[in-house]
Structure 1
Amino acid sequence: MYFPAKKSIATIVFTLLAFTSYAQQSKFSFSINSLTTNFNYGSANKGLQPYKKNFKGLQIGTAYQIGLTPNFSLAPEANFAIKGGILGAGNPVSAGKTSVRLYTIDVPVFARLHLGQFYLNAGPYAGYTLGGLIKIDGSADVAPSKSKISFGRGASDFKRWDYGLQAGAGYNFQLEKSVLTLDARYGYGLANMSVDIARYNRMLNISLIMSKRK
């Protein structure tokens, strides 16, 4: 007796098995690298723009690439990052040079398109700020200070939750027993991180990532 439905199901299963057998490699990876970050202060604080400087931070994390097809994978990550921003001396907010340092946990999830050893990826991220510091250098009008960041709804408080988008590209160098990946990405924060003035996270991340070959 002929069962077209069963034959169709068997064909689909066989096709999926054959297709995924040639999918991108699923693998764990580990990275440690420097970060270049700053704050975007929004259109209401354009007077701060000339004083804005980059903050050099650090990121340590792990990722798992889930191979789905020969040209597509998903790559969730979990990273501990030291981010922040600097306002130069003479700025309208504090007069003295001000450095903001944030200790965060970031979880991006990338959709990754593979083109040979080269790839493009993009996706959302969510972040949580564990703590931070504000350092203000002394000036003619202001005494130097260093304090922990407070979280809440007060005028000088910060907010813990962050979210936004990350996108970039990378290249896999095939070594004898491992894969060395050069990855570059840009992070665009969509959440205002403080109460008194707008602070949106911006990030440039160039990293070397090591993973094991099959």
Structure 2
Amino acid sequence: MKLKAILLCVLVAAGASMASAQKAGLKGGVNFTNLYIGDVDDVDDENMKVGFNAGLYYRADINEGFAIQPEFLFTQKGTEVQYDGLFGGSGRYRFNLNYLEVPVLAVGKVGNFNIHAGPYLGFLVGAKVKDVDDNGNINDVENLDRDDFNTLDTGVAAGFGLDFDTGTIGLRYSYGFQEIGKGEDAGQATEDSKNSALQLFVGFDF
């Protein structure tokens, strides 16, 4: 599954490079992320984590109504999980996961409006779990770090946007296929969950 996703991203990006570039620029925005188990409908909005996304995009027109858009992004994902301690203490675990992510999107255009969807490939560059107790004290969970999580994430993304003369603005949802926890501790802590993210973004052409 991972190899197929990588090959698909490479082939589609190569096809885009042979078309005429119409848009290229910088983009960034806000992430509203969570982790899901089994069915994505199980996501609990109360555990949502806010982060950011930033990077580059390149849009190549295939024809007037269709384009391919690869992107290279730094994106923050994760969640917050509530807990109740054995002796009355309570708090939450905050999972902070940072990825370099490459979505390759098919873009359908009607005037200035666009709908886009396609696969993404993500590489985990940093992971930190923090314990925030009921008094607001923040402590690192030392036994969990990047080595305890899967470094590769694959999934699909879909959304819509509005193009303007100097850039674009839009909303996108991404749905991960890979369980984020690799080791026994991380797997139990995350309950074998996967990434889920809603992105609000704005881009400006070079």
Aligned partners of 2:26 and 2:85: how far apart in 1?
A: 39
What runs of 5+ residues in structure 2 fail to find an aligned partner?
1-18, 182-186
Q: Does structure 1 retain, via aligned residues, the 8 Å contact 2:21–2:58?
A: no
Is 1:65 the counterpart of 2:59? The answer is yes
CA deviations over 1:18-56 (Å, ceiling 9, x no partner): xxxxx986221211211111111336xx7xx66951100
Match of 2:48 in 1: 54
Contact 1:127/1:162 (CA < 8 Å) preserved in 2?
A: yes
Partner of 1:82: 76
1:122 paired with 2:113, answer: no
- In angstroms, what is the RMSD of aligned CA positions? 2.7
Alignment of 1:1-214 (within 5 A): 26-42=22-38, 52-90=46-84, 96-138=91-133, 145-147=139-141, 149-152=144-147, 157-174=148-165, 179-194=166-181, 195-196=187-188, 197-212=191-206
Percent identity between matched residues is 25
Q: Which moved more, 1:122-131 or 1:28-37?
A: 28-37
Residue 131 of structure 1: CA displacement?
A: 1.3
The alpha-carbon distance between structure 1 residues 57 and 91, as it changes in their structure 2 partners (threshold 3 A), is farther
Larger strand percent: 2
What amino acid does structure 2 have at the position aligned with 1:40?
Y
Q: 1:51 to 1:109 in 2, by over 3 A?
A: closer
TM-score by length of structure 2 reads 0.75
**Mapped partners of 1:203, 1:50: distance in 2:** 12
1:3-26 Cα distance to aligned partner (Å, 9 max, x none): xxxxxxxxxxxxxxxxxxxx9862
Q: Within 1, Cα distance between the matches of 2:44 and 2:22?
A: 45
Distance 1:184 1:51 in 2: 17
Could you tell me how far 1:91 is from its partner in structure 2? Answer: 8.5
Indicate the SS of the match to 2:84.
Answer: coil
TM-score w.r.t. length of structure 1: 0.73
Aligned to 1:88, what secondary structure does the other structure show? strand
Distance 1:66 1:113, change over 3 A: same
> How many residues were matched structurally?
175
Unaligned runs of 5+ in 1: 1-22
